[in-house]
Amino acid sequence: MKTYVLMICFLWGVMAGQRVQAAAQYVVVNMSPAEASSLVFQQIQGLAQGKTSGQMGLGVGAIFSYLNQSRDKTMAQIQAFLALAELHHVPIVVQLDGEQWWGGRPDLWNWWDPDRPGFNPDNRNNVEWSGWGPEHALKIAWRNWGRQIRVLPPPNFMSTAYRQACHDEMRVLVPLILDWWDQLPRDKKHLLIGIKLGWESALGVNSFYYPNGNALLNQPEKDDPKTGLRADRIPDRGVTAIGYAAITTAQLAETGTLKEVHQVEIISRHLTDLCALASELGVPRDRLFTHVAGWKEQELLYNAALNPYACPGWSFYKYATDPQADRGVQRVLKKSDAPYWAAVEWLLMGQKDVTAWLNALDRTLSDPTCRYMCIYNWRDIKNNEAALDAIQKMLL
């Protein structure tokens, strides 16, 4: 039955004028560049030992935050990652992040502290605002990936200086990856599963802002509000709406109530721009993936994963047991002409039953156009025997 479905997909692609191949699918485990080592790659190899499936592979993903450190360090990390993939014959996903961590570029975000590097009052135009005007520029934001922490204000995705900074890094890093890929012999070309751009791209979710948050900057962090995000409340996510800077810069609006449709348009433009550049640099569509998420049922943000240059990707936590039940994703997939899509961030939370894991993995990859699923994070998965057992069973 699966072979029949793959053949139908292939024929559909030919009729649509696209080069669609019935390629292998991958279970990918995510880790930080610091975790990637020969020992870890050997552990991944060990999981795949005895693999018999010609259609299912096991890979490794890593995230490289190119605005959070020097270019030389990012290049060195990527080169080491690529070398490990080739040495151990383990396929990889390379994620390039310019959104969530950008501490290495105070020349873009420091508009308020003359005693810190990069200070320039005009930098208020490179960060997000909590109202219509630069007087509402953020100095601080919050993130909760298991626990609440303080983070830098998020970038104004439409800022010319910010966009140029992303382009400058990508024009170095993307060719670095492609040069490595080009020199691989034909029987190793599959080692590059893909390049991923975006990281749950959104406004006011992974960097959210409490009301009057700037006043808290110099107060003890222990006294910060703990009410947290209400991510299904749009457009303010239950805290304070942001996106005013990008919406103003993009000339979508300058007054009135901030609208969900404008927030989504910003994310769509942001990802389309990055993907267009990657395509211009030579990344084929079947090796390029976006990454957004949805926190409210069928919210418009799901749409931002789609553009003409890449394959769409989403996060799956609530719907990890069955991505086909995520109506927002399924709505967008009906519109997609991309050869693939991916569960680019996925985790079956709190589950240590091998059958539950195996069923969830199987349902996620039951659609042959799902190129890969990326399980977050290796540091936890490596200690979850049920997860490891299920992954091994998927490869048989």
Output b/e per residue, 130-160; b: 16+ Cβ within 10 A. Answer: bebebebbbbbbbbeeeebeebbbbbbbbbe
Is residue 8 scored above 90 in pLDDT?
Answer: no
Residue 351: what pLDDT?
Answer: 83
Helix (H, G, I), strand (E, B) or coil at 202: coil
The structure's pTM equals: 0.92
Query: Once rounded to an integer, what is the mean pLDDT over residues 122-136?
Result: 98
Is residue 14 scored above 70 in pLDDT?
Answer: no
Q: Which positions ≥6 away from 135 have C-beta within 8 Å?
A: none
Residue 10: what pLDDT?
Answer: 35
Alpha carbons within 13 angstroms on the beta-carbon side of residue 370 total 29
Condensed to tens digits (0 to 9), the pLDDT of residues 240-297 reads 999 999 999 999 999 999 999 999 999 999 999 999 999 999 999 999 999 999 999 9
Query: Once rounded to an integer, what is the mean pLDDT over residues 149-171?
Result: 98
Is residue 12 scored above 60 in pLDDT?
Answer: no
Structural domains in the chain plus CATH codes? 2-394 (3.20.20.80)
Residue with tokens 């024929």: 11
CA 299 from centre of chain:
18
Is residue 22 scored above 80 in pLDDT?
Answer: no
Is residue 7 scored above 60 in pLDDT?
Answer: no
pLDDT category, 396, cuts 50, 70, 90? confident
Q: How many CB atoms lie within 10 A of CB 367?
A: 18
Condensed to tens digits (0 to 9), the pLDDT of residues 95-118 reads 999 999 999 999 999 999 999 999
Mean of per-residue pLDDT scores for the chain: 93
Query: Once rounded to an integer, what is the mean pLDDT over residues 226-240?
Result: 96
User: At 284, which amino acid appears?
Assistant: P
pLDDT category, 350, cuts 50, 70, 90? confident
Condensed to tens digits (0 to 9), the pLDDT of residues 37-88 reads 999 999 999 998 877 778 899 999 999 999 999 999 999 999 999 999 999 9
Burial class of 6 by CB neighbour count within 10 A (0 to 12, 13 to 18, 19+) = middle
